[in-house]
Amino acid sequence: FLDGTGVHIGYQPDGELEEDDIRQRNGLKPKERMPRLNDPRGLMTCGFTSDADYIRFETTVSTDADQTAIAPGYLQKDWVQNGRRYFHYRMDAPMLNFYSIQSARYAVRRDQWRDPTTGQAVAIEIYYHPTHAYNVPRMADALKKGLTYYTKAFGPYQFRQVRIQEFPRYKSFAQSFPNTIPTSEGAGFISDLRDPERPDDVFFITNHELGHQWWGHQVVGGQVQGSSMLSESLAEYSSLMTCKHEFSAPLMQKRMRDELDQYLRGRRGERKKELPLMLVENQPYIHYNKGGMVFFALQDYIGEDKLNGAIKAFLTKTRYQTRPYTNTAEFVSYLKKATPDSLQYVVHDMFETITLFENQLDEATYTQRPDGKYDVRLTLRAAKMRADSLGNETPVALRDYVDIGIFGPDQAKKTEDYDASGKPLFFKKIKLTQPKTVLTFVVNDKPAKAGIDPYHKLIDRHYMDNVKAVAAGEGKGTVVAQR
């Protein structure tokens, strides 16, 4: 696996020491991680590679006679000469100066996807170690579902072929290069997918990487704050949307809780400063985990088609745009245009600030009514905070729409007290304005659990107290509203 190969021209700031303490030990001043959002020089520099914009690409690779070498582009010809095998690749569309080359004794699965509206065919090729065939059909399935969703939601795929190439577990990542997605054996090929109660990471990772063919390869930001949101958060969101249509609700809930867990853990380990999503400085816990959560929540608030429409309009405007490169300020302006006045605060909270919640279901009781239905009384606590870059929190007024759910018995076999995997008997966003709210609801079936933000759409520092079992009984406290 040759990564970052090829010629790079000029000074490469990526090679500088980053951590403040290591810099100090070497007599260097602390360094800003990234130029500001509107930095004029940063906006004239590609966020992925500082030495070139989109390029024309052609390469010839030689390898052992029994191996297949893979690089971006389309294979023009291959031949054997002096006991070595040669591969000549050429790309016919603009691509970033960003590529990797693999060579191995591969087995290959060939498949095809056809765009249902245009009829355009895309060849799917998965190159794998011959004994690692387990998840190869699942990867092909994921690619087809991703291609279908992304072309419809965002716009056309720019290549005629997509390839996944396995590489050994010296590293356990997958990365998207033009029409090639090198994937570690440890990032999908040898994952054990037999447990139906675990979210399928092969599907998720494959479609995250496929998403980068749009986010990163069609649209790329400048070398400024926020640019990794345009690549990583949008790839994460794209993949989460394919998961939403593929996974059961309880599995999706686990998937989203994983995002929340990793974000909360990441911000605890921050060594310099946390930033709002739109100013992210290549911080994985922000651009992957918070980004995935925030975009997923936003499609829930304003609607999937509305959000995808805004993203598509942004992509159409900025596709292959170079100097000046786009930034997240331009992107967020598209989000605001697509968001109704009543929900503008959601965009502000999620993209422009660090906003946290402390929501809790304090008490949940039910009584059966004479008509056979059930009265459910919930005592909810809710609070909203803004954090600064060092984690200092300030309370802010609550005027927020928050999911309230009442559920039947859990459907997942392995379930935690704080999971709500039952059929929703009631589920709705309710505007909360008080730190404590007591509400009653009427449901047709006997309730088992209830929750405030039970599916973890908001960033809640303690999510384990959001859901609890509903107990038989009258409950305490004065009801402020009847639903």
Q: Which residues bind Zn ion (CB under 5 A)?
A: 232, 235
Query: From the CB of 448, what's the least distance to Zn ion, in Å?
Result: 38
| CA–CA gap between residue 394 and residue 143 (Å, rounded) | 44
- For the CB of residue 232, give the shortest distance to Zn ion in the complex, in Å: 5
In three-state secondary structure terms, 45 is coil
d(CA 333, CA 121): 34
Q: How far apart are CA 482 and CA 438, in angstroms?
A: 9
384-387 and 393-396 strand pairing: antiparallel
Find all residues with CB under 8 Å of 58, minimum gap 6, and list them: 73, 88, 89, 90, 91
DSSP letters, 289-303, are IIHHHHHHHHHHHH-
Q: How far is the CB of 327 from Zn ion (least distance, A)?
A: 19
Q: Which one, 232 or 246, has the nearer CB to Zn ion?
A: 232
Tell me how far apart the alpha carbons of residues 381 and 359 are, in angstroms, rounded to a whole number: 6
Cα dihedral across residues 54, 55, 58, 62: positive or negative = negative
Least distance to Zn ion, CB of residue 124, Å:
20
Provide, rounded to whole angstroms, the least separation between the CB of residue 277 and Zn ion: 15
Q: Pick between residue 91 and residue 235 the one whose CB is nearest to Zn ion.
A: 235
Of 128, 124, 120, which Cα lies nearest the Cα of 104?
128
Spatial distance between the Cα atoms of 19 and 23, rounded to a whole number of angstroms: 6
Q: And the tokens for 406? A: 């009442």
Question: What is the closest distance, in whole angstroms, from the C-beta atom of residue 188 to Zn ion in the complex?
Answer: 14
Q: Which is nearer to Zn ion, 288 or 407 (CB)?
A: 288
Dihedral pair phi/psi, residue 211, rounded to 5°? -55, -30
Q: Which is nearer to Zn ion, 232 or 403 (CB)?
A: 232
Cα 331 to the center of its chain, rounded Å: 16
C-alpha 148/C-alpha 110 separation (Å) is 18
Nearer to Zn ion, 151 or 207 (CB): 207
Shortest approach of Zn ion to residue 419 CB, angstroms? 28
Instruction: Please report how close the Cβ of residue 177 comes to Zn ion at its closest, in angstroms.
Output: 12
Q: How far is the CB of 208 from Zn ion (least distance, A)?
A: 6
Asked if 410 and 419 count as a contact pair (C-beta separation under 8 A), the reply is yes
Q: 171 to each of 56, 167, 184, 186, 478, how far by Cα in Å?
A: 29, 8, 7, 8, 57
Query: Could you tell me how many helices (H) and strands (E) the chain has, helices first?
Result: 12, 22
Residues 214/149, Cβ–Cβ less than 8 Å: no
Q: Which is nearer to Zn ion, 239 or 359 (CB)?
A: 239
Which residue lies nearer to Zn ion by CB, 205 or 364?
205
Q: Is 67 exposed, middle or buried (0-12, 13-18, 19+ CB in 10 A)?
A: middle
Q: Which is nearer to Zn ion, 231 or 365 (CB)?
A: 231
* Max CA separation in the chain (angstroms): 90
Residue 200 or 232: the one with the smaller Cβ distance to Zn ion is 232
Q: How far is the CB of 214 from Zn ion (least distance, A)?
A: 12
Nearer to Zn ion, 174 or 459 (CB): 174
Whichever of 232 and 349 has its CB closer to Zn ion, that residue is 232
- End-to-end CA separation in angstroms for the chain: 60
Nearest approach, Cβ of residue 212 and Zn ion (Å): 6
